Amino acid sequence: MSPLRRPSRLIALTAATAALALAASACASHSSSTSTSDVASGSSANLSSVTLRVGVTGWNDLQAALQIAGLDNTPYHVDWSVFSGGNLQLQALQSGALDVANSSEIPPVFAAAGGTVNFKVVAVQKANTLLQELVAGKNSGIKGQKVGYVQNTTAQYFLDKLLVQAGLTWKDITPVPLTPNDGVAALNSGSIAAFASYGNSIITAQQQGATEIGSGEQILSGNYPWEVSNSLLGNSGQQAALIDLFVRLNKAYAYIRDGHQQAYAQATATATHEPVSEALSQNTADEAEVHTRLVPTSDAAIASEQSVSDVFSSIGALPKPVTVSSFWTTALDAALTKALDAAGEPTS
């Protein structure tokens, strides 16, 4: 497997507990009992009664990072839920089942286009864009062929861009919306000629003989919005806890980059069932492309998501045009900037 093959974020974490416990104990000297008063807002508020219901995609890499860095002992409770995609997180957030979600730029656009918006984007995670690919079976051409894609996701977006680059339109292919697993099966059986997807589905397709014919690596922005429920924005305790969690995550990513990739690779391999060596090389490639970090909102990030929204509108994928700034807020920017500065972490 190429060093740029990223571990899946599309499979549930089921067996990483032992590996994480070992990693956490190994770095116990780095464990922090820091409260929100130290890390975030300067407040001495007691957050022991606060709970954050947080969504993650694929496997709980966020909790893994915190445990490895010894930063999981939060003064509030985090109730983690694992989903197979950011779109499902947004559905849970909209329904009130989550307080916090993390997705690509696409799910919030479709959630906003679908009706009432019960969330706001409060921060952005900068991360890599690897393993977002269009893969084909035996025949590499797609013109006039059935092409599968994961609907309402980054896959649909970068497939559109790849078609434009090739001088094609959606009318030049027969588009087939599929789930990641169904897409791999369809590609393997020959019922589709190519498949646009991400994560473990791409790894599996290539293991079964598919080859990359296009990539979203240089197309996607690397911006991953963090969304919160409207109710969280009215809860000062949850806001303070979330700021603290964001800072802890940034410190955890920095800790892993600072010579502790092996522990994270072990946790990843346990969760994704891949060799530790591959997980290590993948994480190294991920962080070489961009250092994973959470930052406050920005006009540039809003403009980036608006351009994505405009593409989906232009191809008729949205029931109505979406102005993305309507669901972004700067409400947490000042507190997050102050907390990141205090922790010596970057704010952009």
pTM, two decimal places: 0.82
pLDDT digits (tens, 9 = 90+) for 241-254: 999 999 999 999 99
For residue 265, pLDDT over 50 is answered with yes
Sequence-ordered list of residues with C-beta below 8 angstroms from that of 235, at least 6 positions apart, any chain: none
With cut-offs at 50, 70 and 90, classify the pLDDT of residue 289: very high
Q: Coil, helix or strand for 8?
A: coil
Q: Provide the terminal-to-terminal Cα distance of the chain, rounded to the nearest Å.
A: 33
Show me where the domains of the chain are located.
17-128+221-343, 132-215
User: What distance in Å separates the CA atoms of residue 269 and residue 139, rounded to the nearest whole number?
Assistant: 32
Judge whether 17-128+221-343 and 132-215 match in fold. yes
Query: Is the Cβ–Cβ distance between 136 and 193 less than 8 Å?
Result: yes
Residue among 134, 124, 125 nearest 61 (CA) = 125
With cut-offs at 50, 70 and 90, classify the pLDDT of residue 37: very low
Query: Is the Cβ–Cβ distance between 62 and 16 less than 8 Å?
Result: no
Fold annotation for 17-128+221-343: D-Maltodextrin-Binding Protein; domain 2 (3.40.190)
Fold annotation for 132-215: D-Maltodextrin-Binding Protein; domain 2 (3.40.190)
pLDDT digits (tens, 9 = 90+) for 304-345: 999 999 999 999 999 999 999 999 999 999 999 999 999 999
pLDDT digits (tens, 9 = 90+) for 69-98: 999 999 999 999 999 888 899 999 999 999
User: What distance in Å separates the CA atoms of residue 58 and residue 91, rounded to the nearest whole number?
Assistant: 16
Local structure of residue 172 (DSSP, 8 states): G
